[in-house]
Amino acid sequence: MSDKSDTNQSIAKTLEKIKNSMDKKSNINSEDKNDPIDSDTEKLIDLIKEEEILNISIQTTLIKDRKFSNLNWVKHNHQELTFENCKISNSDFSSSNLDGLRLINCKIFNCNFEKTSIQEGFFEDCEFYDKDLQNGCCFNLADLKRAEFHRCNISMSTFKRANAFQIVINECRAQGCDFQFTNFSNVISRNVLFSSAFLTKTDFRYCNFEGVHLEKCDLSESKFVSVIFSKTNLEEANLTNTVFSPSQYDGLSLFNADFRNAEIANIDIRKLDFSGVKIFEWQQAFFIENLGIIAYPDKA
């Protein structure tokens, strides 16, 4: 009789535990339903399942709050598309026509835009740098004529031999980018080149600008620390308020460049032609010290 009573008590306790557990779960579900939906876009995107196919209709112009991975858009033709608050990773857009592409507050990780036409593209508040993998995107040989990057992180991206005439890179992070032989010029005739680019208020440290023509271009308020400027043409360029401290500068041309209010360092001025270069009076000290000249104040 005692054994049967003990068994009944044990069953009752077990049923009570199950009931309490179900009540807790019910309360949690109820709380979740009553909680307001988190409006933070980044959290929303992380919860969305990754899509590997993106079908575009003729009427499609805006793609918003979606997450894509492993898209194969090689040689596609989709112009004037806008992506907002999207994440696109490990995707191939090479050799496509994406002219007029707009990316607003997007994350674009490990994507290939090689030989892609993105004329007049507009990118604002976007991340092209994957912090986990520490790499950027590939724009080699891409057509970026009149494209604009505003407040983007394009660090570690490559732009080798891309067409970047009249490109705008403003208030961005571009550390470690490779602009080797990027074309910032338009050929007017066989012997005449016209360069145009606006690389302003951007951190270009550790970048490679070897062999590029940036004469008369606006590079003001940017940081060029430990960059490669070998065989680079900066004649008549606007370098006001920059931090100018290249690591390599053999063959650098600076004729008539504007360095007013720039912080210049790590340059042996005897190896370069500074003819016509514009500076403020307070900057003379760097050039005098660089020549090994000791200057004393005038006697009263």
44: left (phi over 0), alpha (psi -120 to 50) or beta: alpha
Q: Determine the average pLDDT of the residues in 184-208.
A: 90
Query: Is residue 31 scored above 80 in pLDDT?
Result: no
Tell me what pLDDT residue 178 has.
98
Instruction: Give dist(CA 139, CA 213) in Å, integer.
Output: 18
pLDDT 10s digits, 134-153? 999 999 999 999 999 999 99
Instruction: Give dist(CA 229, CA 218) in Å, integer.
Output: 16
**Single-letter code of the amino acid located at 127:** E
Tell me what pLDDT residue 89 has.
97
Query: Is residue 164 scored above 60 in pLDDT?
Result: yes
Q: Which residues of 260-278 are buried (b: 16+ CB within 10 A; e: fewer)?
A: eebebeebebeebeeeebe
Tell me what pLDDT residue 49 has.
78
Tell me what pLDDT residue 33 has.
41
Q: Of the ranges 24-28, 105-109, 242-246, which one carries the lowest mean pLDDT score? A: 24-28
Instruction: Give dist(CA 151, CA 4) in Å, integer.
Output: 75
Tell me what pLDDT residue 45 has.
56
Query: Is residue 23 scored above 60 in pLDDT?
Result: no
Residues 6+ apart with CB under 8 A from 208: 177, 178, 179, 180, 227, 228
Q: What is the pTM of this model?
A: 0.82
